[in-house]
Each structure stands twice: as C-alpha cells, then as structure tokens.
Structure 1
Amino acid sequence: MSIPNYTRFLSECFVQDSERQPALREDEIYGVYISWCMLNAEQPGPTTSLWTAMHHSGHTKQRRDTGRHEWPGLTMKGPAAVDYILSSQPSLL
C-alpha cells in the first residue's frame, strides 16, 4: 500500500458547489477519505496531512458554535462517496 495522493482524492471525491447547504462536516470528509483509501488500496495518511492538502487546494473550514469544523461549498461524488454513505447509513440498503 502506498501513501495516498491527496490531490487525486479531492478531485475524485468532491466537487465545488457554492450552493451546497449544509456544509460537509469533518467526519464526513474523513469517512469518504477512508472509503477512498480502501477502494484504492492506499494506506491512509495522517489526518493533519489531509486537512493541509484541503487547505492548499483552496478549501477552507469553518468552526461552528458546536465546536465542530465544517467545509462549505463541497459536494461528495464518486464511488468512495457512495461507499461511505452506504456504510454510514445502513438503513438505505
């Protein structure tokens, strides 16, 4: 297994959508990341590297009153997003 290419992950799994509401939560993005790594036989890298890659790609996070971080303007796409959604919402099966 190799260390993931974060640029490839972001381009395969997210599309910029300024109308997207609500923003994606960090746990959702990380869940898609883990699904993508599994589907591509990649070893997940440190979460700090993922967040840094997102920042360098122009994505900015916002801290909410709940203490959670959210990433506005992103929509999930692709097989890893489907895998994440189905594994996190078994009632959809």
Structure 2
Amino acid sequence: MKTPDYARFVQDCIAADTLDDHKLNEDQLFGVYLSWCGLLGQTPGPCESFWAAMSRLGVHERRGNDHRYIRSGLRMTGPAALDYILASQPSLV
C-alpha cells in the first residue's frame, strides 16, 4: 500500500484565501482528502497520520462557536473538491 503524499494533497486541493468567510471544518478537510485519494486510486492513510501531516504542513486549526475545529482562511479547490461537494450534497446533481 502506497502512503498518500500529504504535501501533494495540500498543493492539489487546498488554497489560501484572505476572505474571513472561507473556512474548512474538520469534516470538510478530511472529506476532500478522501475524495482526492479516491480519484488517484490511493488508499487513504490513517486519520492520525493525516492530522499530524496537516499540522506539520501548517494547516492549523482552531475551535469555532459550534465546538468543531475549523481551518480559517482556507478553501478547497480542484477536482477532488468538486467530487467531495457533489458526494456530500446529492441534491446538487
């Protein structure tokens, strides 16, 4: 089993955004990661490895008002983002 390249995931799927209203919560970030792995035919790495890699790569978190972790100033982008959005919002199809 090949371990996913987390740096490539961030490069391919995550973009910095200066607008305050752009935020990713932990479910969205992990969901787009799973979509990215699926599109590349890779087996996702363990959750612990993913979150440790995100921290090392500077994708920091903070708690929001609803006590879910959010990554502010980030947005998802690319084909994996589209795949994730369509999979999580079937009413859009």
Establish whether TM, by shorter chain, passes 0.5: yes
- Answer yes or no: is the 8 Å Cα contact 1:14–1:76 preserved in 2: yes
Give the SS at the match of 1:70. Answer: strand
CA distance in 2 between counterparts of 1:22 and 1:8 reads: 21
What is aligned with 1:14?
14
* Mapping 1:31-70, distance limit 5 Å: 31-70=31-70
Any runs of at least 4 consecutive aligned residues in structure 1 with deviations exceeding 6 A, and if so which?
Answer: none
Is 1:89 matched up with 2:83?
no
Give the SS at the match of 2:44. Answer: coil
AA aligned to 1:47 is: C
Q: How many residues align?
A: 93
Give the SS at the match of 1:42. Answer: coil
CA distance in 1 between counterparts of 2:61 and 2:42 reads: 25
- Answer yes or no: is the 8 Å Cα contact 1:20–1:75 preserved in 2: no
CA distance in 2 between counterparts of 1:63 and 1:78 reads: 26
Q: Which structure 2 residue ranges, 5 or more long, are not aligned?
A: none
CA distance in 1 between counterparts of 2:73 and 2:61 reads: 10
Task: Give the TM-score of the pair, scaled to structure 1.
Answer: 0.91
Residue identity over aligned pairs, in percent, reads: 46
